Amino acid sequence: MAANPESDPYAPLRHAMVETQLRARGIRDERVLAAMERVPRHLFAPSYNYDAAYEDHPVLIAQNQTISQPFMVAAMVQAAEIKPADVVLEVGTGSGYQAAVLAELAAEVFTIERFAALAESAQRNLAHLNYANVVVTIGDGSEGLPQYAPYDAIVVAAAAPRIPQALVEQLREDGRLVIPVGNSEEQQLHLVQKRDGMPFVQPLFGCKFVPLIGRYGFHPAT
Ligand code: SAH
């Protein structure tokens, strides 16, 4: 699916990223580690910044947004416990990187981005790497994406002031929602599991994401 690691000059940097930033820090899910070893993260970064793609921090992309830090992507995807038959929603497509990681693990990935320009370049990145099981859409993901619901897992890559009810509604029974919740300065990553129709909420650890802007997120500055 993704580029052949053997012909990829960035494969050694990516391997080091997986070992030192992910495995050494407690990411244990071998499927997640293997997916992040496969996806050529640099191809989702601006071309002047390829090397930075494998460093231990977020990478700036267009519209003042970022590709999340590798550890954060791994922690979110691991918490979402993606299985091969799962249908997954990602809110906040950004570069398309995390959508590619999800596409390595799930049957089908729907991703939604509020900036059309980002959605279009993510779509190009994903098509170039032959990810045929990702659908990129443009819109307000704080409302979820009801037309393809229910989802086995929902991963939100932007911080919300509270857990949007619409996202809980679009989860399948036993589904997992991973979402940073807090104010614009700091948040806690939360895992929400739907059991008997009710959300079971567990805070995981502190984090800092760009804001989720939308109806059930933060409101844009006026
Ligand atoms: N997952 C991305 C990182 C995304 S950063 C990657 O791997 O590159 C968060 C993204 O969420 C930004 O692109 C931002 O524009 C988007 N976003 C913020 N609010 C949103 C909303 N309500 N709906 C959809 N996307 C949103």
pLDDT, tens digit (0-9, with 9 covering 90-100), for 49-96: 898 999 999 999 999 999 999 999 999 999 999 999 999 999 999 999
- For ligand 1, whether the C-beta of 216 sits within 6 Å is no
Residue 3 pLDDT > 70: no
pLDDT per position as a tens digit, 4-59? 555 899 999 999 999 999 999 999 999 999 999 999 999 999 988 898 999 999 99
Q: Check pocket membership of 210 for ligand 1, CB cut-off 6 A.
A: yes
Whether residue 1 is contained in a domain is answered as no
Q: What is the mean pLDDT of the chain?
A: 95
Angle at 115 between CA 83 and CA 167, to 5 degrees: 40
How is residue 116 written in tokens?
Answer: 């059309």
CATH assignment of the domain containing 24:
3.40.50.150
How many domains does the chain contain in total?
1
Say what the pLDDT of residue 220 is. Answer: 81
Q: For residue 61, tell me if it sits in a domain.
A: yes
Which of 93, 97, 137, 219 to mutate for ligand 1's pocket (most ligand atoms within 8 Å of CB)?
A: 93
- 174: domain range? 11-207
CB 176 within 8 A of CB 153: yes
Alpha-carbon distance of 158 to 177, in angstroms, equals: 13
Residue showing tokens 């570069």:
95
Q: What is the pTM of this model?
A: 0.96
- Residue 220 covered by a domain: no
Q: How far is the CA of 129 from the centre of ligand 1 (A)?
A: 20
The answer to the question of residue 198 being in a domain is yes
Residues taking part in catalysis: 68
Residue 218 lies in a domain: no
Q: With b meaning 16 or more CB within 10 Å and e meaning fewer, what string describes 154-174?
A: bbbbbbbbebbebbbebbeee
Is 69 part of a structural domain of the chain? Answer: yes
Give yes or no for residue 109 CB within 6 A of ligand 1. no
